[in-house]
Each structure stands twice: as C-alpha cells, then as structure tokens.
C-alpha cells in the first residue's frame, strides 16, 4: 500500500492510494476520459497510454485488455477503467472523438411552423397581464397581496392565486416602484381553471409585443435539444443541440444506470445533464438576442418562465435525481412515469427560479415521454389508417395504432445502429462512412463519407447500407456468415474471427483498416431482429397483419438518414413502398414544443400515455419466437419481404 503520483501529460498530477482506478485518478485531476460503456471495460474507448519509470505501462496493473490490439498492449496502452494504480505513472490521454456542434437537430428556426390558429389566451397556460391597482389609503388599507389578488380576479376571473415566499417578499416593493402599475406573469392550472400561480411581478406595464419565453427540451441519450419559444406568438426564436454530456459515463442508458449506482455516479449524471441543458439555454437565449430582456441586470435565462421536457424514462429520472436502478432490473419498474410539475429551481435549471417545468409523461421503463410526445407530433394518435411509429435511436421504441387504439413496446436493440458495440462504428459525424455499395462480382466496396473526408469508421446508415450490400452481393449469406470462398482479399481472418475489410489502412484517416467483423454482423442482425420482432409482436397482439399497416412514421435523427430500401433489405423495416414511409426528424422535441404552447396538446400527450397498452417483450414468449425468426436476412419467412426476394433475383441474374 502507499500513495502514488499520477501525472496526466499537460494536465497536472494527483496523488492517489494504491488500488485507485485510472478513471478515478483522472476525475480527481479534472481530466476527462470518455467511458461510453460506463466503466465496464467493454467499449475500449477509455484507452490511455501509460509510462511508469522507464517501463511501458509501469505503475498500473491492467485488469483487462479487451478491445486493445496486441500492438496497443505492447505500446503500453491500458483501459483506464480497468487499470489499477500500483506505482507512480505518467498517463497520455489520446485526443477523444470530437463532439461536433453541427448536430442535425440544430435546424434553423424557420423550419418550424407555429400551429395553425394558435391563440395564447386560449391555449397557453402562461399568461402575462398588465394590472393597474388602486393605491391604498386610510379608507382602503387592504394588504398588498389581497389587493393584487383582487386585481387579478377582476381582470381574469382567477379566484385562487398562489405565490411563493420569495415572490411574496418582493411584491410590496414592486407595487410601489411601479406606482401600482405592474405586469404579472401567471401560470394557470389547466385542471382547475380558476387557479393560477403568480410566477413573477414586474413594475410598470410591459409592451404586448415583448416575447414571453418558454423552452421545449428533448433529452436524448445521445443528443440534447432545446428550442426557445415565444409563448405569445408561438414562434421558435432559437434552437440548439449538443451531445448529452452523460455520454462519457456510458453510451447507452443501461451503462449509465450502472454508472449511477457507483460512488457518486447518480449525482454526477444529474449534474452532467443539467450542464448540457443549461449550456443550451444560455446559447438559445444569446442566439435570440436581447430585445425581450426587460429591465434588471439578470441573465437572460432568468426571463424563461416555462419548459416542457421529454426524454426516455431513464433520462427523466436522471434529470430529476431519482434513482433509476429499478428500471434496469426485472420487473423493470420506473419510480415515476408522470412526474409532477416542479419549478426550475427545484430541478436545477437556469431559468426563472419559479418557472414551471413540465416533465411530460412516459408509459413504461423503456417507453418514455419522448415516445408519447413523438406519437402526438407524428399524428399517430389521430390517424384513421393503422400506422406504425418507430423511434430507433439508442433504444428502439415502436408504437402501432390509430385514433382508436395504441400498443407499444421497446426492443432492446442496443446502440448498434448508432455505431456503438461495433468495432469500427461511430456516430454520424465527419469521417463516418454513411453509405456503401459493393460490386457483386469483385466484392470491392465504394463508399460515401460525411464531410468528404478520409473515413474513420461507419455510422448507423453506413452499417445498414453495408450489411444490405453484403447480403445482396453474397458476401454474407442469409445467416450473416461471411462467404470465405469468394475470390477477394477483403474477407480474411481477423483477431476476433472472420471479417470484411471496408477500407484499407492507406485510405483511412487513422491509418488502420476499417472492417466489419463477424461479431459486428451478428450484433447488427440481432439489433434489426429485435426491432422487427417487436413490430411483429405488436401486430400479432392486436391481430393486425404487419403488411396492412398503411403508413410508417419514423422519428429520431436516425430515421432522417436511413435508406428505406436498405432498411427493408436487411429486414429492419417492413416491406412497404417508399411512399408509405414518412421521416419526421426529432418528433420528441416537436411534441414538447406543441405541449409547451397548448394545454390541449399537453393533455393529449397525457391521454396518449394513458391510452397506450405497453407490451413487455421480456415477459412474452411470442417475442422470442419472432426474434429467432428474424435472425436471418431479411427474415426466415421470405413472403414477408417480397420486394427483397425480387431484388435478390435481380442480383442473381446480374451475376
């Protein structure tokens, strides 16, 4: 036992006791090391180079070298989450994958249309009213708070007005500074039409055309999106998105729940998501400019009076600081599906401290508010024909239904389609191969790279495209096995079994081959099988054949770039004509935006959550059967994919 000095090149040093993990030492030194798998030693992203004294990797003991190449191991690389300090060491942290700011959800405001006929007086819970009160005198000694309540009641009919203690402390001064002319911001309670909460009181009458600020927020596992909205005009004033800062604690929700259960993990995850949102709030407020910044030297974010928030159930729990451990373990129960309304201060958001924060309701552990909001904005809950809504992000949630009924399930597809759990997988940023074509005769690929750069890996659409091409050209068979008899050096035996080389080292950004391994193929097939089986089980549960579904509504950023044809070819999407698919982008934040504006929309999301029948796949034998049947390309039952059969025949003719 003893104390050891760990220095991080260019980032200072810390003294830690024997047995400390390098990741913990890094936290103490304030050095960021990504741990997408949550510190399980599975993803290999936390690899660092270690020197202790004269020796490579001296000073630490490696518990595991999974995902490190033999060369890496020799060069002194270690997984920081699996490296135990046993002596002094110098650590070099490689440059991490850059989180690019040009996220797809950061669209220009002009693209979002204010809902037709939006009437803030009728639809909006948040109201701003100008009041003129009679000043007190010796014949009218009514107290300030009663005087204000009377003025509000006279003007609005609201009988029951509530107020916080901090605001109660201010009203006397505001009334007198404003010389009994004031502007009140009220949140009216939808449930009780004559009840409201006074959130702010400002001296003087604020001009009607001054925006009243609100936020629509989507907390994705990967990306957090924030829209700044004028609650009076309904206009989106600014949008911004960035990666969820929790990513460094785990790429998928399960990794994060596991991270939360360690040490102070839960508090850390809460702070990280709060930081993500608060940074975005600051950014949208700055983007929108200052014309609405009434009075006071307060930061602009203090003027934001309302937010609606969506996200999957685990993101919502983490935002609220509620333990999510029970979600991970059977019987997979959340602490809360429909959180009460809290204030920004209670949650920790940088808005007006008394601002109303509405966390929209989810349905179950793996069907959260992002889905209920998505169903609203996709219009599925009001559709006449039977429709399918899918949101394939880090998780895969599916809803089948129409205006009369809704069933939903979550398939643990894993984050393969987001590039995680795949050796050369990556997110859809610069350097990602997003589409692949394979020559059926030579098995030689060509590809398109985001940013026209040298390739660094494959993103989700690239993986789907590659898998489809490999299947159609016979590089793999319907079971996903690589055809080792093809006359090509692209298929070879790698460290972890057979693999297909997509790009040679001299073509790539990092100078290493980009490959698709047998394990990757298996992961992708299992992922697509889980999604398809989920759809099949839903359809079966209501006795509606999948091919009678008339429209497929696809939400999430994933959907925006997927090639439908390729998705059908691997059996991920149902075999319907192109025109039956609609790609809706971030349906979750759009639903939050609608709920932010309108009580009717907010109520409709609650109704959706209440109406939706959740089918727990892990409790359903038919899911296992459907999953097994879907573990082939495109499927065991080829009659489910007539267009693919046709395509296969064309390919065969071409050979």
- Residues interacting with a copy of itself, by CB under 8 A? 136-146, 162-165, 168-169, 171-173, 176, 320-323, 325-326, 330-340, 342, 346-347, 364-365, 614, 616, 618-619
CB nearer to a copy of itself: pick between 332 and 504: 332
Output DSSP code: residue 321.
T
Q: Which residues of 604-639 are buried (b: 16+ CB within 10 A; e: fewer)?
A: bbeebbebbebbebeebeebeebbebbbbbbbeeee
The number of C-alpha atoms within 13 Å of 110 and in the hemisphere containing its C-beta is 0
- Owner of token pair 């959706």: 608
Which element (helix H / strand E) includes 415? none
What's the CA gap between 259 and 250, in Å, rounded? Answer: 7
Please, are residues 81 and 35 in contact by the beta-carbon 8 Å criterion? Answer: yes
Q: Are strands 47-52 and 445-449 parallel, antiparallel or unpaired?
A: unpaired
Q: What residues contact 321, with CB distance under 8 A and at least 6 apart?
A: 266, 267, 270
Shortest CB 141 distance to a copy of itself, Å: 5
Please, are residues 106 and 167 in contact by the beta-carbon 8 Å criterion? Answer: no
CB nearer to a copy of itself: pick between 146 and 296: 146
CB nearer to a copy of itself: pick between 66 and 142: 142
Shortest CB 404 distance to a copy of itself, Å: 24
Please, are residues 246 and 273 in contact by the beta-carbon 8 Å criterion? Answer: yes
CB nearer to a copy of itself: pick between 298 and 325: 325
CB nearer to a copy of itself: pick between 267 and 505: 267
CB nearer to a copy of itself: pick between 533 and 573: 533
CB nearer to a copy of itself: pick between 139 and 506: 139
Shortest CB 5 distance to a copy of itself, Å: 38
Both ends of the chain: CA-CA distance in Å? 67
Shortest CB 353 distance to a copy of itself, Å: 13
CB nearer to a copy of itself: pick between 319 and 530: 319
Output DSSP code: residue 591.
H
Q: What is the CA radius of gyration of the chain?
A: 28
Shortest CB 543 distance to a copy of itself, Å: 20
Shortest CB 144 distance to a copy of itself, Å: 5
- The two tokens of residue 70 are 């033999």
What's the CA gap between 506 and 140, in Å, rounded? Answer: 87
Shortest CB 306 distance to a copy of itself, Å: 17
Residue 603: phi and psi, rounded to 5, are -65, -35
CB nearer to a copy of itself: pick between 43 and 133: 133
Please, are residues 67 and 94 in contact by the beta-carbon 8 Å criterion? Answer: no
CB nearer to a copy of itself: pick between 33 and 171: 171
What's the CA gap between 243 and 229, in Å, rounded? Answer: 21
Shortest CB 324 distance to a copy of itself, Å: 9
Output DSSP code: residue 133.
P
Q: What residues contact 602, with CB distance under 8 A and at least 6 apart?
A: 125, 190, 308, 358, 360, 595
Q: Are strands 406-411 and 613-614 parallel, antiparallel or unpaired?
A: parallel
What's the CA gap between 149 and 186, in Å, rounded? Answer: 12
Shortest CB 192 distance to a copy of itself, Å: 9
CB nearer to a copy of itself: pick between 143 and 179: 143
What's the CA gap between 313 and 253, in Å, rounded? Answer: 10
Shortest CB 169 distance to a copy of itself, Å: 5
Q: Are strands 47-52 and 77-79 parallel, antiparallel or unpaired?
A: antiparallel
CB nearer to a copy of itself: pick between 135 and 545: 135
CB nearer to a copy of itself: pick between 53 and 135: 135
Which element (helix H / strand E) includes 427? none
Please, are residues 182 and 204 in contact by the beta-carbon 8 Å criterion? Answer: yes
Shortest CB 344 distance to a copy of itself, Å: 12
Please, are residues 453 and 434 in contact by the beta-carbon 8 Å criterion? Answer: no
Shortest CB 145 distance to a copy of itself, Å: 4
Cα 203 from chain centre? 40
Shortest CB 149 distance to a copy of itself, Å: 10
What's the CA gap between 43 and 420, in Å, rounded? Answer: 8
How many C-beta atoms lie closer than 10 Å to residue 345's C-beta?
Answer: 16
């Amino acid at each position: 036992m003893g104390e050891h000095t760990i220095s991080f090149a260019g980032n200072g040093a810390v003294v830690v006791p024997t047995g400390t993990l390098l990741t913990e030492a890094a936290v103490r030194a304030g050095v960021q090391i990504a741990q997408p798998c949550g510190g399980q030693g599975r993803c290999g992203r936390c690899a660092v180079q270690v020197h202790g004294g004269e020796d490579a990797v001296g000073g630490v003991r490696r518990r595991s070298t999974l995902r490190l190449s033999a060369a890496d191991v020799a060069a002194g690389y270690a997984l920081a989450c699996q490296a135990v300090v046993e002596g002094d060491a110098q650590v070099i942290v490689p440059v991490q994958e850059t989180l690019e700011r040009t996220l797809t959800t950061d669209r220009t405001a002009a693209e979002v249309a204010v809902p037709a006929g939006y009437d803030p007086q009728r639809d909006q819970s948040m109201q701003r009213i100008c009041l003129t009160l009679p000043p007190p005198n010796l014949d009218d000694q009514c107290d300030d708070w009663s005087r204000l309540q009377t003025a509000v009641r006279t003007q609005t009919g609201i009988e029951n007005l509530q107020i916080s203690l901090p605001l109660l402390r201010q009203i006397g001064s505001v009334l007198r500074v404003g010389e009994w002319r004031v502007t009140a911001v009220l949140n009216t309670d939808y449930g009780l039409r004559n009840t409201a909460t006074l959130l702010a009181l400002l001296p003087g009458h604020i001009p009607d055309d001054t925006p009243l600020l609100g936020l629509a927020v989507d907390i994705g596992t990967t990306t957090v999106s924030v829209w700044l909205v004028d609650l009076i005009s309904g206009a989106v004033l600014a949008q911004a998105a960035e990666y969820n800062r929790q990513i460094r604690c785990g790429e998928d929700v399960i990794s994060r729940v596991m991270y939360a259960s360690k040490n102070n993990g839960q508090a850390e995850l809460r702070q990280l998501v709060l930081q993500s949102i608060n940074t975005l709030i600051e950014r949208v407020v700055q983007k929108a400019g200052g014309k609405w910044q009434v009075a006071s030297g307060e930061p602009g974010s203090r003027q934001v009076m309302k937010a609606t928030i969506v996200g999957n159930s685990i993101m919502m729990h983490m935002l609220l600081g509620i333990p999510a451990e029970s979600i991970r373990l059977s019987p997979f129960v959340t602490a809360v599906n429909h959180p009460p309304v809290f204030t920004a201060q209670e949650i920790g958001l940088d808005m007006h401290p008394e601002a109303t924060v509405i966390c929209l309701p989810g349905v179950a552990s793996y069907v959260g508010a992002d889905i209920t909001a998505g169903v609203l904005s996709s219009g599925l809950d009001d559709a006449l024909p039977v429709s399918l809504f899918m949101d394939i992000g880090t998780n895969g949630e599916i809803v089948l239904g129409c205006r009369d009924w809704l069933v939903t399930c979550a398939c643990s597809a894993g984050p393969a389609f987001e590039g995680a759990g795949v050796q050369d997988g990556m997110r859809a940023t610069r350097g990602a191969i997003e589409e692949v074509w394979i020559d059926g005769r030579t098995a030689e690929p060509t590809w398109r790279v985001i940013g026209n750069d040298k390739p660094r890996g494959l993103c989700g659409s690239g993986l789907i495209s590659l898998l489809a091409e490999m299947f159609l050209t016979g590089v793999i068979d319907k079971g996903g096995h690589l055809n080792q008899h093809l006359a090509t050096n692209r298929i070879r035996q790698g460290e972890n079994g057979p693999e297909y080389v997509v790009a040679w080292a001299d073509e790539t950004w990092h100078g290493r081959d980009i490959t698709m391994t047998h394990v990757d193929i298996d992961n992708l097939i299992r992922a697509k099988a889980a999604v398809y089986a989920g759809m099949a089980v839903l359809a079966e549960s209501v006795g509606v054949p999948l091919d009678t579904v008339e429209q497929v509504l696809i939400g999430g950023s994933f959907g925006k770039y997927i090639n439908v044809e390729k998705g059908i070819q691997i059996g991920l999407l149902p075999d319907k004509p192109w025109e039956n698919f609609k790609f809706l982008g971030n349906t979750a934040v759009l639903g939050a935006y609608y709920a932010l504006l309108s009580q009717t929309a907010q109520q409709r999301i609650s109704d959706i959550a209440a109406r939706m029948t959740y089918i727990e796949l892990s409790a359903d034998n038919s899911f296992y059967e459907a999953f097994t049947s879907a573990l082939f390309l495109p499927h065991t039952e080829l009659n489910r994919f007539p267009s693919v059969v046709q395509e296969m025949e064309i390919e065969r003719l071409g050979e």
